Amino acid sequence: MDSKEWNKDLSKSLEATTYQTTQFAQVYYDAYGSEPVYVVAQDSKGKILGQLLTLFHKKYYWRNTNLITKKIFSHFDFNSCLWHYGPIIHDKKNENEVILEMFTALEKYALRKKTMMLHGSTSPFYNLSNEYFNKNRYSQAPWKTYVINLNLGKESLYAKLNKKIKYDIRKSQDNNLKFIVNDDLESVSAYTQLSINSPARKQENRKFDQKFINSFYNNLLREGFSKIATVKSNGELIGGILLLNFNKTSVQMGVENSEKKKLLGGPFLTWNTISWLSDKKFNYFDLGGANPNPKNIKEKQINFYKSKWLGKELFFKRFTKIINPNKYKIFSSLTNPSHAFQKIINRY
């Protein structure tokens, strides 16, 4: 796949994000051997009508397990196809036909690869037709995000924030916090370590994966597709936002905060990130996913926090198709990998 040509076609669509770029795929190929599959629909003259980047994962599922567990699971082929914020439809007039062509080809390939399941999310920037998925045994779940229109300008956005948020921002500025945007290897390593140490992440058993960190740096940060917005207190990292940047749209891939909440590093970080993106002439800031039907206190808190920043509430779908039910049952029974898979699809 020609990286420049693929991304050039992507850039013609306002719905396209870093998640659909060749660089994003390369991260997982280099780190885990995940296979990128590029699906296209085109007319008789070769004009691109639709694009979809998918990743066929296997080793990625067991990245946080010990060596013995990895060795055991290596004998099972739990190959699964995942994608995020796609497909990108260029020919909206013939949308259903484009989706039919693309997903028919994808499913045929998945069957040849003995794939266990297909799972992916549509773009919140475009209301994709459900026709194909309804007819072809995909289950679907609603999801949402909040997208800030940065074209309004940071002064206008700040003026419209509620009094409590403004107070927290002003209070945080009294705490001598420092905001920095980085794209170096040291910063992504520090962000990862903050994530591992975060009280909210302790039950996830995350591990420091240097190979993935190097791959993320080489393919995204160094190539300009990602930045890390950070907040420090007396030189100590207390918060960070992992940004994916493409086509003047920035998506919050991840956010981490330390337990030092009294310093108000969260509001300080979020507002300064919005301000920085506005100064850099970005059009939109996608605050990342939230469950429209929160199942626990944590999900309610995530939704409430993201709702406070004047973003437009946009809904999208997450589709899943189990191709091999028997294999999926085995997968779901081994050390509760279905729980691990749920964490994976929450990103997607």
- What are the extents of the domains in the chain? 3-143+317-347, 146-314
pLDDT in tens, 81-120: 999 999 999 999 999 999 999 999 999 999 999 999 999 9
d(Cα 187, Cα 229) in Å, to the nearest integer?
9
* Mean pLDDT (whole number) for 343-347: 49
Average pLDDT, whole number, for the chain?
90
* Mean pLDDT (whole number) for 228-257: 96
Q: Quick check: 161 and 181 in contact, CB under 8 A?
A: no
CA angle 82, 197, 80 (to 5 degrees): 15
Question: Token pair 């995942």 is at which residue?
Answer: 82
Specify the pTM. 0.91
Q: Quick check: 58 and 29 in contact, CB under 8 A?
A: no
pLDDT in tens, 139-182: 999 999 999 999 999 999 999 999 999 999 999 999 999 999 99
Tokens of 331: 């997968």
d(Cα 320, Cα 288) in Å, to the nearest integer?
20
Q: What is each CA distance from 170 to 70, 152, 241, 271, in whole angstroms?
A: 48, 21, 20, 11
Topology (CATH level 3) of domain 146-314: Aminopeptidase (3.40.630)
pLDDT value of residue 335 = 47
pLDDT in tens, 264-322: 999 999 999 999 999 999 999 999 999 999 999 989 999 999 999 999 999 999 999 99
182 CB-contact burial (10 Å; exposed 0-12 / middle 13-18 / buried 19+): middle
Fold match between domain 3-143+317-347 and domain 146-314? yes
pLDDT in tens, 23-62: 999 999 999 999 999 999 999 999 999 999 999 998 766 5
pLDDT value of residue 203 = 64
**Which architecture does CATH list for 3-143+317-347?**
3-Layer(aba) Sandwich (3.40)
Residues 6+ apart with CB under 8 A from 64: 204, 205, 206, 207, 340
d(Cα 323, Cα 332) in Å, to the nearest integer?
14
d(Cα 303, Cα 214) in Å, to the nearest integer?
31
Q: Quick check: 228 and 242 in contact, CB under 8 A?
A: yes
Say whether 230 sits in a helix, a strand or coil.
strand
* Mean pLDDT (whole number) for 52-79: 68
d(Cα 227, Cα 238) in Å, to the nearest integer?
17
